[in-house]
Amino acid sequence: MKADTQNPLPSLDVWEEDVLTRYPEPFEKAKEDYRNYDEPGRDTVREFYRLNHTYQTYDFVREKEAEYLKFDKKEMPIWEAFDFLNTLVDDSDPDTDLDQWQHLLQTSEAIRADGHPDWFVLVGLMHDMGKVLCLFGEPQWAVVGDTFPVGCAHSDKIVYPEYFAANPDTYDERYNTKYGVYEPNCGLNNVHMSWGHDEYVYQMTKHGMPEEGQYMLRYHSFYAQHREHGYDHLLDDHDRAMFEWVKKFNPYDLYSKVPTPPDWKKLRPYYEDLVAKYLPGALKF
Ligand SMILES: [Fe+2]
Ligand SMILES: [Fe+2]
- Half-sphere exposure (CA, 13 Å, Cβ side) for 246? 24
Average pLDDT over residues 271-280: 97
Q: In angstroms, what is the span from residue 8 Cα to ligand 1's centroid?
A: 18
Q: In angstroms, what is the span from residue 238 Cα to ligand 2's centroid?
A: 25
The rounded Cα 219 to chain-centroid distance in angstroms is 7
Q: In angstroms, what is the span from residue 198 Cα to ligand 1's centroid?
A: 6
- For residue 111, the ligand closest to its alpha carbon is 2
Is the model's pLDDT at 31 over the cut of 60?
A: no
Q: In angstroms, what is the span from residue 20 Cα to ligand 2's centroid?
A: 11
- For residue 108, the ligand closest to its alpha carbon is 2
* Cα separation, 130 vs 181, whole angstroms: 27
The dihedral through the CA atoms of 240, 241, 242, 247 has a sign that is: positive
* Cα separation, 78 vs 52, whole angstroms: 30
| Model pLDDT for residues 126-167, shown as the tens digit of each residue | 999 999 999 999 999 999 999 999 999 999 999 999 999 999
**For position 229, what pLDDT does the model report?**
98
The ranges assigned to domains in the chain are 13-284
**For position 34, what pLDDT does the model report?**
47
Q: In angstroms, what is the span from residue 25 Cα to ligand 1's centroid?
A: 17
Q: In angstroms, what is the span from residue 126 Cα to ligand 2's centroid?
A: 9
Can you give the pTM of this predicted structure?
0.91
Q: In angstroms, what is the span from residue 15 Cα to ligand 1's centroid?
A: 10
Q: In angstroms, what is the span from residue 52 Cα to ligand 2's centroid?
A: 18
- For residue 253, the ligand closest to its alpha carbon is 2
Q: In angstroms, what is the span from residue 103 Cα to ligand 2's centroid?
A: 7
Q: In angstroms, what is the span from residue 23 Cα to ligand 2's centroid?
A: 14
Q: In angstroms, what is the span from residue 209 Cα to ligand 1's centroid?
A: 17
Q: Nearest-CA neighbor of 278 among 122, 130, 127? A: 122
Q: 180-212 burial by CB neighbour count: b if 16+ within 10 A, else e? A: bbbeeebebeebbbbbbbbbbbbbbbeeebbeb
* Cα separation, 234 vs 220, whole angstroms: 17
Which residues have a Cβ under 8 Å from the Cβ of 22 and sit 6 or more positions away? 159, 223
| Model pLDDT for residues 51-94, shown as the tens digit of each residue | 999 999 999 999 999 999 999 999 999 999 999 999 986 554 44
Q: In angstroms, what is the span from residue 173 Cα to ligand 2's centroid?
A: 35
